[in-house]
Structure 1
Amino acid sequence: MTQLGEGIAVTSITDPDRPHWVQVEYKYANGKPVKGSFLATDSEGMTWAGKLNDQGQACLSNLPPGSVEFELASDDLEDELKQTRTNIKTVLDSIVAEQKAEAAKHEKELAQQNALQQAGSHYWAYTKGFWNGAVGLVTFAKDVVVKTAEVAQYLSPLERLNNLLHAGYKSYYDGTLTSAQWKQSLAKNLQDEEIKDIARILGIDAKHLSSEGLQRLKELFAEAYEITAFIADDKESLDMLTQFGKDYAGAQSSIEWAEFAGGGVFEIVLTALLLMFTGGIGNVAQGASKIRHAGKLKSLGSIFRNLGKLLKRKKLRKKISGSVDKKHTVNTDLPPGKKTSSPKTAHQKAAFGEKTAHEKMVSDGYQPLGNTNGTYKPGETGIDGVYKHPNPPPDYVITEAKYNTAKLGKLKDGTKQLDDKWVTGGKRLEKAGLSPSEQKAIAQGLKRGDGTVEKLLVRVKPDGTTVIKKIP
């Protein structure tokens, strides 16, 4: 047996009856060579064993005609995987234990509140739980009152990050982009301001992030997504983290139960890597957030990285057959990407839709009137937005924002949202904060039907794009 790269040419034939050769090169998806041992069996049943050289290659000569079957040797891979999973579970179990102690304290405080205070506490938990909706690892600072509208501001960059990661990774998975290219694509398409918004959610003081720091953050998002994809494709690892999500929810107080919405593997991995990046000093608590269990999660960062590497090696442990007198390349199979965000609640969808619709109108030059500011008000069924048109006619534009496929509402008498009767009824124009003269002008314009008032349905897709429809 000879190995290419060790100074022995593949044409060095010593047996004229066995004049054939074969070369196999093992690579990870990012193009880096694989290290390890291999086993090979030629067409006559002879077994060959050896180690890959520094280029991830093995080359056999003096082979009979036909094909050769290659397989990477285990190198105790399963033992390493088992130990790594055990290390992760140990940390996760300690987080659950810590959470149970915290929950007991919360329940004691809750028991001392009256019924109205308890209801307010639970509603607050419900409206703020978009990132907490994963597993509650990130929570807003208790001494900061964050309104629903302010929470909604954070939803847009997180949703966009999720969609960019999913779309870019798909091109990587399909072979359109290399590992480096899909990470570059993310860095190019995700704006610095968006990454700063996400950093603030995670308690990182964005003011002190250099251009290099922003670039490193983007790379960490991509790394976390790729590790997540491999974990999601590995049943043992996925089951362990999913169970942690269930255990963590079960360990939370009744307030925190309202925030729980799913497994949140991506959030766990990302948080651990970010804590490694920041050195564990994420929370400056300037009205943003704090990361719970920071010390324990930080220790998971390096373990998750190791798990990702082991799962990539596991993907290479497949038997391949290659014809002699040819060079063959074996790449790591990439698991398919998955959308990483937890499902939004109805309130979160409405808040995201109303904020995004408002931003679209303002960016197109419309001037907000009255109380129009993109703020979602739970339980209210008033007008979402009233704007002054930049180039009349029309003079006024009334908007209703809907998330994805949500339909316009209907009153008991059959009147639909944005019908003229709906707009002018129920003191909606007054509640929208319009002046008496503005209310009169809109009501008269609708009555005359002279085109001075326009009504728009602004439909907001999950990726933040908008489709605008004029309502007669």
Structure 2
Amino acid sequence: MSGYVPNNRNERPAPTPAPYNGDFHRQAPRPLEGTAAQSSSCLVGLRFVWDNGECLGANLPYSLTPAAGNPVRGSLDARSSLIQTIQGREYEAQLLADTDVDSDIASARAELQAALDEILAAERAEAARLQAIQDQRSALSNYVHRRLAAGKGFFLGAWGLLKTAKEFSDLVNPFTTFSNALRSAWQARASEGETWLAAYNRQFSAEQHRELVEALGFDPSSITREQLAEAFELACFIYEDGPSKAMLGRFAVDYAKAQNVEEIAEFSGGALFEIVLAALLIVFTGGIGLAARGAASVSYLDKLARLGNAFRRLGAALKRARIRRGGRARGSGTGARTVEVERPRDVLPGTLAPMDGSDIRGSPRKGRNKPPEPLPEAEGRPHSIIERPGRDGQYTTHNGDGTWKQYRGSGQDHGGIPRPNVKEAGKNTTPDGREIIDKGRVRPARPDEIPRG
């Protein structure tokens, strides 16, 4: 018969239902043949920023891994964000998942150590001629070499970035303004779509940039504000890396010893910033300007250039490592969230202390043991002035409220109080209620006040 379809119900019997449980309203659902279980999915949105609100950067690779499924790989967009649909609900996100940051850092540290060793070898090779070189230096150059303990101007002077007293004097205000603008921008909360460099550019004008670069002896057109700020950013990342900081600390001490500086204080952030700044200035400019002025660093420009390149590579590797360590997130279900990555703390570059005249040959000296006046660029904040470095030297600490104390490591005893001792000025109240600063009283020095070395 045309169109006849045989009945095959006996060949494919229906599944046997479960026995009736006596409750019409509580029957188990019957399975439907030929249907597959429906899979669930969710929409994930993540944004990665520094803890000041600034975007980490575009095009950073990420891996988004569902609890059950293959990783989804991609790159962050211009807002440091990702939006992906994944199967299931649980997920784990990781930035720079395939980057071996530890190997990058180890390699960069080795490159930095090699560059530092090369500079030290060059300095030690000149040891026999060092005294003659020191005799030929200007009074200012010898001054900044003796003041390593203060961490102010030593490396800028040693590598030929400071040559004359006029340049040193001209540099004080621009460098202080530069330091303040950098720290203020670094600490500021970023507004939407603005980087910390943009905030810095608002605060440090093109004219201030020109003054600073000219005072350092370079053509202002050879280095940008962004390049100067890059030195600060690199110094911040390097300063929080213990092994790198220790490496630079050893270099600072060994370099000073090679130049016959016998007393060296504890390594400081200011000295690190000067090393980074000096090396990167030479990298950014190719040394243009130094050769014309006969700077001390010309003899090993190539070594300083390698040092600057090593700083750039190490800083970039440490930055990637911080992003990888902090750029991870776990979550569940559809939703958007922001992941903050902690930035390094800012490095206080330190201001360049103006000369008080006591270290320049032929200039009048201050009275014996008279404490120096507070530095104007300290703007009333507590600070110390190293008059002579070392355990047998002398320094004065101004407390910011008009009081001060002066450590004297050597010299004549004072009324039966042997050296080292401390002369400390305090506050007194007059009968009419006025507060005055006394002339100071001498007492024995406490262990924490005595310089090491």
* TM-score, normalized by the shorter chain, greater than 0.5: yes
Amino acid in the other structure paired with 1:168: A
Asked whether the equivalents of residues 290 and 298 of structure 2 are also in contact (C-alpha less than 8 Å), the reply is yes
User: Are 2:365 and 1:379 equivalent residues in the alignment?
Assistant: yes
Instruction: Give the 3-state SS of the residue equivalent to 1:274 in structure 2.
Output: helix
Judged with a 3 Å threshold, the aligned counterparts in structure 2 of structure 1 residues 121 and 58 are, in CA distance, closer, same or farther, namely closer
- Whether 1:275 and 2:261 are equivalent positions in the alignment is no
TM-superposed CA distance for 1:324, in Å, is 1.9
Rate the CA distance shift 1:329–1:223 in 2: closer, same or farther, 3 A: same
Cα deviation code 1:374-427 (max 9, x no counterpart): xx966246xxxxxxxxxxxxxxxxxx9863365599xxxxxxxxxxxxxxxxxx
Report deviation, 1:122: 5.3
Match of 2:61 in 1: 36
Deviation of 1:135 after TM superposition, in Å, equals 7.1
1:79: how far off? 0.8
| Separation in 1, partners of 2:180, 2:100 | 37
| Structure 1 stretches lacking a partner, 5+ long | 1-13, 352-375, 382-399, 410-472
The Cα shift of 1:161 comes to 0.8
Give the distance between the partners of 1:401 and 1:248, measured in 2 at CA.
Answer: 30
Q: Aligned ranges for residues 33-432 of structure 1 at < 5 Å?
A: 33-38=58-63, 40=65, 42=67, 46=68, 48-53=70-75, 55=77, 61-65=85-89, 67-72=90-95, 73-107=97-131, 125-126=145-146, 132-134=153-155, 137-139=158-160, 146-147=164-165, 151-171=168-188, 174-176=189-191, 180=195, 182-206=196-220, 209=221, 213=222, 216-254=223-261, 262=268, 264-283=271-290, 285-286=292-293, 293-317=300-324, 318=326, 319-330=328-339, 332-341=341-350, 348=354, 350=356, 379-380=365-366, 403=376, 404=380, 407=402
Higher Cα radius of gyration:
2
SS in 2 for 1:281: coil
User: Structure 1 residues 103, 331: CA separation in 2 closer, same or farther (over 3 Å shift)?
Assistant: farther
| Separation in 1, partners of 2:364, 2:264 | 16
Q: Which runs of 5+ in 2 are unaligned?
A: 1-35, 368-372, 383-397, 405-453
Change (3 A) 1:48 1:81: farther
- Corresponding residue SS for 1:321: strand
Question: CA–CA distance in 2 between the matches of 1:309 and 1:70?
Answer: 22
One-letter identity of the residue aligned with 1:70: A
Mapped to 2, the partners of 1:137 and 1:15 lie a distance apart of 75
Shift of 1:289: 7.8
Q: Does the 8 Å CA contact 2:234/2:312 hold for their aligned counterparts?
A: yes
Provide the rounded CA distance (Å) in 2 between the counterparts of 1:304 and 1:402.
32
TM-score by length of 2: 0.59
Shift of residue 251 of structure 1? 2.2
Deviation at 1:156, TM superposition (A): 1.6
Q: What is the alpha-carbon distance in structure 1 between the residues aligned to residue 274 and residue 168 of structure 2?
A: 17
2:231/2:276 contact within 8 Å kept = yes
2:41–2:86 Cα contact (<8 Å) kept: yes
Q: CA RMSD in A?
A: 4.4
Amino acid at match of 1:219: E
Q: Distance in 2 between matches of 1:300 and 1:123?
A: 25
Q: 2-side partners of 1:277 and 1:78: how far apart?
A: 27
- Structure 2 vs 1, CA of residues 286 and 92 (structure 1 numbering), >3 Å: closer, same or farther? closer
Task: Judge conservation of contact 1:134–1:262 (CA < 8 Å) in 2.
Answer: no
Work out the CA distance in 2 between the residues paired with 1:37 and 1:178: 21
1:69–1:378: structure 2 CA closer, same or farther, 3 Å change rule? farther
Q: Counterparts of 2:127 and 2:332 in 1: how far apart (Å)?
A: 62
TM superposition shift of 1:308: 2.6
**Does structure 2 retain, via aligned residues, the 8 Å contact 1:272–1:301?**
yes
| Residue of structure 2 equivalent to 1:464 | none
Output the CA distance in 2 between the equivalents of 1:118 and 1:99: 19
1:185/1:27 Cα in 2 relative to 1: closer, same or farther (>3 Å)? closer
Given that residues 81 and 310 in structure 1 are in contact (C-alpha distance below 8 angstroms), is that contact kept between their aligned partners in structure 2? yes
Q: Kindly indicate whether the alpha-carbon contact (under 8 Å) linking 2:43 and 2:333 is maintained by their aligned counterparts in 1.
A: yes
2:36 is equivalent to residue 22 of structure 1: no
- The alignment covers a number of residue pairs equal to 331
After TM superposition, give the deviation of residue 167 of structure 1 in Å.
Answer: 0.7
Q: Measured at CA, do residues 315 and 99 of structure 1 come closer, stay the same or move farther in structure 2, by a change above 3 Å?
A: same
What is the Cα deviation at residue 90 of structure 1?
0.7
Moved over 6 A (4+): 117-121, 127-130, 257-261
- SS for the counterpart of 1:322 is strand
- The AA in structure 2 aligned to 1:98 is A
- Aligned 8 A contact 2:145 2:157 in 1: no
* Equivalent position SS for 2:112: helix
Answer yes or no: is the 8 Å Cα contact 2:231–2:280 preserved in 1. yes
TM-score calculated relative to the size of structure 1? 0.57
What SS does the aligned partner of 1:93 have?
helix
Q: Distance in 2 between matches of 1:223 and 1:119?
A: 32
Identify if the C-alpha distance between structure 1 residues 165 and 380 changes in structure 2 by more than 3 Å, giving closer, same or farther.
Answer: same
Maintained 8 Å contact 1:282/1:291: no
Amino acid at match of 2:365: G
Distance 1:153 1:109, change over 3 A: closer
Q: Look up the SS of the partner of 2:126 in the other structure.
A: helix
What percentage of aligned pairs have identical amino acids? 25
